[in-house]
């Protein structure tokens, strides 16, 4: 996935949101090529799904709606994606997708770079009193 994101960034399809201020994880903005691709895909979808069918009409509605609409559609009662934050590496996971380890199982943690790994290693040592080995950007 990182190779695909890197290629898309180099070719001007996407850029990390607020990148010059440190960025937002998992949030991207469309670059010039990405904006054109998105516009073309939307136009083709609209042509195929709306213009080519007599039983369909198009609307452009807001996703910000009265809470009763979301309740009536079942979205409030049926959907929940709680997130958890790792206090060591700062990564955010969906609770059902977060790494789970058995008691006593080693937990290697890979951070973005050696500097962040060193900072996390120092934090674990000072807060928990646990000595971790560091191999580049990975803590063991």
Q: What is the pLDDT of residues 3-14, one digit of tens each?
A: 988 899 899 999
Instruction: Name residues of the chain where pLDDT drops below 50.
Output: none
- Identify the pLDDT of residue 88: 65
Residue with tokens 């850029």: 15
- Identify the pLDDT of residue 133: 73
What's the pTM value of the predicted model, to 2 decimals? Answer: 0.45
Structure confidence by residue, pLDDT tens digits, 43-65: 999 999 999 999 999 998 887 88
- Identify the pLDDT of residue 48: 96
Number of alpha carbons in the 13 Å side-chain half-sphere of residue 92: 7
């Amino acid at each position: 996935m990182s190779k695909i994101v890197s290629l898309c960034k180099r070719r001007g399809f996407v850029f990390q949101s607020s990148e010059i201020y440190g960025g937002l994880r998992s949030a991207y903005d469309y670059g010039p090529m990405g904006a054109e691709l998105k516009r073309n895909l939307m136009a083709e979808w609209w042509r195929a799904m709306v213009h080519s069918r007599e039983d369909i009409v198009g609307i452009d509605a807001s996703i910000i709606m009265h809470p009763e609409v979301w309740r009536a559609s079942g979205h409030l009662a049926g959907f929940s994606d709680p997130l958890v934050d790792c206090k060591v590496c700062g990564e955010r996971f969906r609770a059902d997708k977060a790494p789970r380890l058995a008691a006593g199982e080693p937990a290697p943690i890979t951070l973005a770079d050696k500097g962040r790994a060193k900072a996390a290693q120092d934090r674990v040592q000072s807060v928990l009193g646990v000595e971790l080995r560091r191999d580049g950007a990975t803590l063991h």
